[in-house]
């Protein structure tokens, strides 16, 4: 299995990343599943002006690589590519891309969902929402933690 984790401030091109994943897998892949996350513009009734993400270089990548290794131990995967942005982001900006390729779709779907559930709870990031009512640090919700625990 091939894997890569990229933490970056710059945006990414989903189509280019998808094509690169297909090239890496050649004819072995029967499925590529992608999840793309975006910055929302509202939380409940409060407008979101932006999102600021901090990370600890080296530690953040290691935390995500551990999640990828766990996924590879559970499912037959060919390729996993995770891109997560940091810094200042505006509503509608892309924040995360997870691509998972496997020979068969059940493994690709399950691993992609697993990776996102763990990224929400265990990856080393600090997120601050810039809301109209004031800035607030974001923590994993009880439902986020329950989804992770269900794996």
For the stretch 88-134, pLDDT in tens is 999 999 999 999 999 999 999 999 999 999 999 999 999 999 998 89
Residue 147, CB half-sphere, CA atoms under 13 Å: how many?
16
Dist CA 98 CA 113 (whole Å): 9
The pLDDT tens digits of the residues spanning 38-62 come to 999 988 888 999 999 999 999 999 9
Range of the domain at 65: 2-150
Q: How many domains does the chain have?
A: 1
The closest alpha carbon to 37, from 53, 56, 57, 20, belongs to 53
Largest CA distance in the chain: 51
Q: What CATH number should be reported for the domain holding residue 100?
A: 3.90.1170.40
- The whole-model pTM stands at 0.95
Q: What is the mean pLDDT of the segment spanning 52-74?
A: 97
Strands 2-8 and 77-85: parallel
Report the pLDDT value the prediction gives residue 132, as an integer from 0 to 100: 84
């Amino acid at each position: 299995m091939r894997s890569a984790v990229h933490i970056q401030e710059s945006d990414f091109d989903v189509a280019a990343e998808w094509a690169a994943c297909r090239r890496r897998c050649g004819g072995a892949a029967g499925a590529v599943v992608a999840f793309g996350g975006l910055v929302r513009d509202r939380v409940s009734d409060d407008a979101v002006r932006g999102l600021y993400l901090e990370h600890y270089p080296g530690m953040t990548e290691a935390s995500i690589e551990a999640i990828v290794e766990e996924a590879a131990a559970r499912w037959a995967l060919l390729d996993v590519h995770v891109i997560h942005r940091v810094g200042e982001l505006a509503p509608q900006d892309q924040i995360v891309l997870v691509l998972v390729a496997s020979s068969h779709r059940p493994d690709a779907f399950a691993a992609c969902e697993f990776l996102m559930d763990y990224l929400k709870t265990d990856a080393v990031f600090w997120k601050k929402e810039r809301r109209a009512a004031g800035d607030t640090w974001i923590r994993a919700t009880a439902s986020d933690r329950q989804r992770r625990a269900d794996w």
